[in-house]
């Protein structure tokens, strides 16, 4: 996993609409919560995405944006977004290139580790969490990022 204080690597991946989206584009309006997850439609990943959906208004209110990354296709992401009414971008990393860059590839090269990063507009990693099966820790991480951003937005 990339270290706090380091630079987040630039990347470009297709989103759920098969449009290329770069990290710089995602950071255009403010800091970003970038989360990596194993797969669409699995119980844990669905729970995590729905928690982020439910926090999305608060996330945006403090000037943050959010995007998820997993290896599924844009079409699968589109279905996942539609079924659960997810208002944020989902990026398709089918070759796991970005997953490797962010050092969140699963054990022995299989799967994806559940990781969440808070990245500022200069692409520095301000906070990070790796908690594979502890989804509640990711929602708490996001709540803390929202609280911190609310404090700096005033």
Phi, psi (rounded to 5 degrees) for 56: -60, -40
| Options 13, 33, 34, 45, the catalytic residue | 45
| 2, 35, 49, 137 from 118: Cα distances, Å | 11, 9, 16, 14
Concerning whether 45 is annotated as a catalytic residue, the answer is yes
Decide: residue 58, CB within 10 A, 0-12 exposed, 13-18 middle, 19+ buried. middle
Q: Residues with catalytic annotation?
A: 45
């Amino acid at each position: 996993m990339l270290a706090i204080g380091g630079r987040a690597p630039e990347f470009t991946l297709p989103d759920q609409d098969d449009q290329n989206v770069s990290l710089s584009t995602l950071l255009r309006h403010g800091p970003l919560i970038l989360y990596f997850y194993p797969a669409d439609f699995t119980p844990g990943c669905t729970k995590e995405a729905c928690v982020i959906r439910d926090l999305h208004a608060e996330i945006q209110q403090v000037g943050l944006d959010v995007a998820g990354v997993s290896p599924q296709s844009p079409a699968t992401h589109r279905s996942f977004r539609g079924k659960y009414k997810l208002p944020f971008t989902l990026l398709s990393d089918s070759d796991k290139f970005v997953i490797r860059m962010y050092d969140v590839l699963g054990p022995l090269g299989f799967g994806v580790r559940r990781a969440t990063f808070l990245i500022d507009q200069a692409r520095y990693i301000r906070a990070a969490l790796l908690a594979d099966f502890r989804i509640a820790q990711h929602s708490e991480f996001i709540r803390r990022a929202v609280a911190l951003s609310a404090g700096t937005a005033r």
